[in-house]
Amino acid sequence: MTQHAGPRLYLVIFAALLVLTGATIAAASFDFGAFNTAIALAIATAKASLVGLYFMHLRWSRYLTIVAVVSGLLGLVLLIGFTLMDYDTRGDVLIYGDEPPPALAPIAPR
């Protein structure tokens, strides 16, 4: 019951991946300010979606396979989210040999 696409669809997807790779290179050569990361992640998400849907045959999979993939992606999002929440709670980390900023320097007694 598994359907497979013909070579023409694979060539179209391959061409789309090449275009998106060119967009990645083009986006890396411009400065979009705060949107650099968002643009790079959007292009990477589009490429990963095409690979998953067509080259990994998720487009023609049963619902249980799709549930497994979505569960894995949700787990990844949770792990990255918890890591970023932990990173956000940490203060400045001093590297050995660096001088502490004036606000963190110990106050000398008078």
For residue range 30-49, what is the model confidence (pLDDT) as tens digits? 999 889 989 999 999 999 99
Instruction: Tell me how many domains the chain contains.
Output: 1
Residue 104 placed within a domain? no
Residue 105 placed within a domain? no
Averaged pLDDT, 72-90: 89
Beta carbons of 39 and 66 less than 8 angstroms apart: no
What does the pLDDT read at residue 1? 47
For residue range 90-103, list pLDDT tens digits in order. 776 666 666 666 66
Residue 97 placed within a domain? no
pTM: 0.67
Residue 70 placed within a domain? yes
What does the pLDDT read at residue 84? 86
Residues in contact with 100: Cβ distance below 8 Å, sequence separation at least 6, in sequence order: 94
Residue 96 placed within a domain? no
CA–CA gap between residue 27 and residue 43 (Å, rounded): 9
Residue 71 placed within a domain? yes
Single out the residue of 65, 59, 52, 48 nearest to residue 3, CA to CA.
59
